[in-house]
C-alpha cells in the first residue's frame, strides 16, 4: 500500500513538472508569434514607404495616428496626395484595415499591447532619411528567473525608402 502511495506521489510531481514545462512552452510560442507578426508588419510598412518615396521624403510617415478616425481611402478613382497616402499606410499598419464596420489586422489587433514607433535620427523630412521603425509589446516572462510578470519586447528595423 505504501509503495502505491509513493509511486502516486512521484507520478504527481512529474505531472506538475510537465504542466510547468507546457506553460513555459506556450508563453515562448506566444512571444515568438508576436515577434514574427511584428517583423512582417515592419516589412509591410517598408514596402509601403518605398512605394511612396515622396511621402517618405516629406516626413509624412510618423506614428501620430488616430485609430478612431478613418483616413481617406486612396483607391479606385480617389486621388490622394503623398501625405494622405502616408497617413493611410501608417494607420493600416498600426490600426488595421477598416472592413465591414471594424478594423482587421494591424499592430493593435494582432500584438497584445503593441505600439508602433517611427523615428528618424536626422529628421524624417530629408531625402533618403533613415526611418527607424519599431514595434514593442508586453509579454509574459517565459522562465521563472526573469523578473516581473510582464516584460517589454520589441522588433526594430531601419528602413531607407
Give the tens place of pLDDT for each residue, 58-96: 888 887 778 877 776 776 777 888 888 888 899 889 988
CA distance 75 to 80: 9
- Where are the alpha helices (H) located in the chain, listed in sequence order? 2-51, 53-57, 82-95, 106-110
Res 26: pLDDT? 87
Contact 139, 151 (CB under 8 A): yes
Distances in whole angstroms, Cα of residue 40 to Cα of each of 29, 46, 63, 65, 102: 17, 10, 17, 20, 22
138 has pLDDT over 90 = no
Res 47: pLDDT? 94
> pLDDT tier at 8 (50, 70, 90 boundaries)?
very high
Res 121: pLDDT? 86
Res 72: pLDDT? 66
Average pLDDT, the chain: 85
Distances in whole angstroms, Cα of residue 63 to Cα of each of 78, 80, 107: 24, 19, 12
Give per-residue pLDDT as tens, 18-48: 988 888 888 888 888 989 999 999 999 999 9
Tell me the sheet residues that pair with 151. 139
Residue boundaries of the structural domains of the chain: 28-159
Amino acid at each position: 500500500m505504501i509503495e502505491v502511495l509513493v509511486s502516486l506521489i512521484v507520478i504527481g510531481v512529474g505531472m506538475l513538472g510537465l504542466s510547468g514545462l507546457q506553460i513555459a512552452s506556450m508563453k515562448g510560442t506566444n512571444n515568438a508569434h508576436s515577434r514574427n507578426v511584428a517583423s512582417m508588419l515592419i516589412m509591410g510598412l517598408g514596402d509601403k514607404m518605398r512605394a511612396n518615396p515622396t511621402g517618405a521624403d516629406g516626413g509624412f510617415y510618423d506614428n501620430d495616428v488616430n485609430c478612431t478616425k478613418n483616413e481617406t481611402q486612396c483607391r479606385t478613382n480617389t486621388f490622394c496626395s503623398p501625405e494622405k497616402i502616408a497617413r493611410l499606410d501608417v494607420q493600416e499598419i498600426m490600426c488595421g484595415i477598416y472592413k465591414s464596420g471594424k478594423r482587421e489586422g494591424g499592430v493593435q489587433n494582432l500584438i497584445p499591447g503593441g505600439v508602433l514607433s517611427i523615428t528618424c535620427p536626422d529628421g524624417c523630412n530629408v531625402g533618403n532619411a533613415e526611418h527607424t521603425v519599431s514595434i514593442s509589446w508586453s509579454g509574459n516572462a517565459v522562465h521563472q528567473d526573469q523578473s516581473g510578470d510582464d516584460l517589454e519586447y520589441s522588433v526594430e528595423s531601419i528602413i531607407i525608402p
